[in-house]
Amino acid sequence: MKKILLKVDRMQIQWFPGHMHKARVQIKETLPKVDLVIEVLDARIPYSSENPMLAELRGDKPCLKILNKADLADPELVKVWLRFFERQKRIKARPTSTEDRGSIRQLTPLMSQMLPEKGEGKTITTMIAGIPNVGKSTIINILANKKVAKTGNEPAVTKGQQRINIGDGVTLLDTPGVLWPNVENVYSGYRLATIGSIKETAMDYADAAFFSAEFMLKHYESRLMNRYGMESVPASAMEFIEELGRKRGCLRKAGIVDIDRASKIFVTELRAGKLGALTLETPEMMVFEKAATVERIAAKEKEKAVKAKKRKVAFKEKSKAKNRKRTR
């Protein structure tokens, strides 16, 4: 997979409901009592679904990274991401899928192996966290072998912290799905929207569709051609969405394509795996994007400083003008 930088001219996607702020506070307060942190990631976007806030808060505690929905991700790139995480200090990584319950049940003995100092007979307290709609609650129910956590195919199903005994001396502290307050990497924002981790009311299907279509045209072109019966490769994401809209009957008066309807069809089918197992990012891409994000933030801060200086000068000039009027 080639390293690319997609063109994104739209606003950042942001979504941070009140219960997520509360969850952030709970996580910070609970972490000192925890032996092990479990973070559930989406195997299609392991970096973008990773929460930098959690990494900052957990410090040196051991961490188990679960790459869930691995059945929907590119198998070769799942291996690449597993190696990437395993190279990091005090981190173990495993792929899972709710379609393969055995892959999830194997996690319990691994937790004990990661904490040999606890020994037999001692309870291991773990915190399990992840972004919205990553499948965290389903994983908990499988580990507990009963329904103890609410599940749903939409973000923000879990609203409060729960304490769950999953047996074998392991207790899970479940937390609501948490996004970080400001998704600084604009590309991560679009990926999160594409896989369904952001509430529909806080995203635009067309934005997510154009972003994903551009990526797919570069990396999984043949899948688009086969899925939508296209005879020639579209020159752009817009051309692809328009062609899809015509083929699926998403037309308004005078034969104009309904971009919103066509976009929703594309994103919905991509989420459901109708375009095959795919991964929307690689570790190499993340190095490139991180650098671009740092540059963008620096430019933004510089712009803010310039504006603040201009406001200060304008205020001083206004004050001087008022003083001159008074002295006349």
Q: What is the pLDDT of residues 144-191, one digit of tens each?
A: 888 876 554 444 444 456 788 888 889 998 876 665 545 678 888 899
Angular region, 70: left φ>0, alpha ψ -120 to 50, beta rest: alpha
pLDDT digits (tens, 9 = 90+) for 93-133: 999 998 899 999 999 999 989 998 887 778 899 999 888 88
Q: Where does the chain hold its CATH 1.10.1580.10 domain(s)?
A: 186-271
Tell whether the model's pLDDT for residue 8 goes beyond 60. no
Edge-first strand listing for the sheet containing 124-130: 91-95, 63-68, 36-42, 124-130, 170-174, 162-167
- First and final CA of the chain: distance in angstroms? 73
Assigned fold of 18-174: Rossmann fold (3.40.50)
0.85 exceeded by pTM: no
Output the pLDDT for position 7: 44
Given a cut of 90, is residue 220 above it in pLDDT?
A: yes
In the chain, CATH 3.40.50.300 sits at 18-174
Q: Model confidence over 131-143: pLDDT tens digits?
A: 888 998 899 999 9
pLDDT tier at 3 (50, 70, 90 boundaries)? Answer: very low
Q: List phi, psi (to 5°) of 39.
A: -115, 120
Tell me, which fold does domain 186-271 have in CATH?
Conserved Hypothetical Protein Ylqf; Chain: A; domain 2 (1.10.1580)
pLDDT of residue 269: 96
Model confidence over 296-318: pLDDT tens digits? 777 777 878 777 778 887 777 77
